Amino acid sequence: MINSEVPSYFPITLRIDGTRIVIIGGGRIAARKIRLLLRKNVQIEVYAQTFNKELQTYEKEKLIKFCSPLLNENDFIQNAKDATLIFITTDDHDYNTHISLWAKKLNIPVCTVDNAELSTFITPSIIDRDPVQIAISTGGSAPVLGRRIRQKIEPLLGQVIGPLASFIGKHRNWAKEILSTHQERQRLWERFIDGYGTSLISQQKEKQAFDFLKNIAKKPFLNKGEVWLVGAGPGDPDLLTIKALHHLQNADVILYDNLLSPKILDYIRRDALLFFVGKQKNHHTLKQEEINDSLIKYARQGKRVLRLKGGDPFIFGRGGEEAEALMHAGIPFKIIPGISASNGCAAYAGIPLTHRECAQACLFLTGHTKKTDQLNLPWENMIFKDQTLVIYMGLSSLPLLCKTLIDKGLEQTWPAAAIEKGTFHDQQVIIGNLKTLPDLVMQKKIGSPVLIIIGQVIHHRVT
């Protein structure tokens, strides 16, 4: 249910060239707003009793126009009814309230600085790389945080963003003439931006940049599909790799699993096609063969297809099967590894997988049972005491797993741990031993996904 007490803001960019902007107040805050507006082709009118030195300088340079205060509603209607935007910057609450009400009556967007109740819009923190603008808003609740976010983003952009956007805008019609489909043009610009084009623009070599663009447009791979097998990590969206993020934002079609944080899907391009193909025990949305066929089908349609998997695609993720299917079908593909569940969950739980004193090896296993409820595992290789066992998907078979390890020779008191929802904010870590862990997991009502770790490294856990 939507909380009506919290203001809702929808970000837009408003075309204001050639319009009138009204500023109420002549002090420091008014000057700050005017500095932003002076970069635009607008007529700025400042209504105030007095004006600070900065505004006086602007007025002398004929950049703004001074006007007398608006004393009543008739004054407001007569002077401000055609304004596109109104900024209220005074510290007189009663006066600000009147101006705001008059503006709202005429449906003029109004911003009262530091007062959301009197505003119908707010000014975000802005990064300006003309013609590119990035606006960061906290909905008026935390403007200082918005500025801090801007300070973190701004150094990452560099100065090439503006010229790059101008170059693309200049040659958009050319691209439309030689490439008939939106998909072709989209890929053209992506390859230009990700390739040598950005570097050429940063060096102000526009002719060479256009030559590079023309060369890309001749390449037959603009319409060639491909598949990316991508590991999304164990759950925490911050563990997504930069390369995985880049491909998420370029994919046309995405087939994703169920072991992911939903927040990771927020990074996906808005016009991408999404298909959930997750698999759970005794319930498969699609069979593996059907997933393979889907990857091949969309790639043959010229799509860039991304297969998104929890953890790493080559560690119990069936990525090997999918890669083989693509290879046999002649589909180009690439593999983008992710942080595995074993690495991520153990690290977040503070458990080292290897340790010089007790574990010089680590064995990864799957705890899936067959229909006969038997675990087909290399038991003789699992009872060495100088190694760590990591068991994926072992929750349902945990009692059998622990009992068999004891029967094969490990002590009942051999350390064992279960990690539920590893790397998520509600992660739970259960510490016990081979005898006690199954009961502890049942008592705590632990549910999937769970990673089991067995070995002396648990005694070296750091918290």
Identify whether 279 is a catalytic site residue: yes
What is the DSSP pairing of strand 43-47 with strand 415-420?
A: unpaired
Q: How far apart are CA 389 and CA 405, in angstroms?
A: 11
Q: Can you say whether residue 60 is alpha, beta or left, with left for phi > 0 and alpha for psi between -120 and 50 degrees? A: alpha
| pLDDT tens per residue across span 98-109 | 999 999 999 999
Query: pLDDT value at position 280?
Result: 61
Look at 36-40, 370-374, 388-392 and tell me which has the smallest mean pLDDT: 370-374
Which one has a higher pLDDT value, 282 or 344?
344
List 33, 257, 309, 312, catalytic entry: 257
Residue 371 above 60 pLDDT? no
**What long-range pairs does 152-160 form, CB within 8 A, spacing at least 24?**
153/127, 154/127, 157/127, 157/129, 158/202, 159/129, 159/202, 160/198, 160/201, 160/202
Band of pLDDT at residue 373, cut at 50, 70 and 90: low
What is the Cα Rg of the chain in Å? 30
List 40, 104, 243, 279, catalytic entry: 279
pTM over 0.75: no
Beta bridge partners of 419: 429, 451
Which one has a higher pLDDT value, 258 or 293?
293
Quote the tokens at residue 7.
Answer: 């203001």
Which one has a higher pLDDT value, 4 or 443?
443
Contact present, 405 and 455 (Cβ < 8 Å): no
Q: How far apart are CA 408 and CA 396, in angstroms?
A: 20
DSSP line for 154-188: HHHH-SSHHHHHHHHHHTHHHHHHH--SHHHHHHH
* Mean pLDDT confidence for 416-441: 96
Nearest to 325 by CA among 376, 353, 287: 287
Contact present, 365 and 391 (Cβ < 8 Å): yes
Quote the tokens at residue 220.
Answer: 């037959």
Residue 259 above 70 pLDDT? no
Contact present, 366 and 393 (Cβ < 8 Å): yes
Residue 244 above 80 pLDDT? yes
Identify whether 257 is a catalytic site residue: yes
If you count DSSP H runs as helices and E runs as strands, how many of each does the chain have, helices first?
Answer: 17, 19
Quote the tokens at residue 460.
Answer: 């070296």
The Cα angle at residue 321 between residues 315 and 326, in degrees rounded to 5: 125
Query: pLDDT value at position 293?
Result: 96
Band of pLDDT at residue 1, cut at 50, 70 and 90: very low
Nearest to 256 by CA among 238, 224, 281, 233: 233
| Contacts for 221 with CB less than 8 Å, ≥ 6 apart | none
Quote the tokens at residue 81.
Answer: 């009814």
Query: pLDDT value at position 116?
Result: 85
How many Cβ atoms sit within 10 Å of the Cβ of residue 41? 10
Q: How far apart are CA 188 and CA 296, in angstroms?
A: 23
Instruction: Pinpoint the alpha helices (H) of 282-397.
Output: 288-300, 319-329, 341-349, 379-382
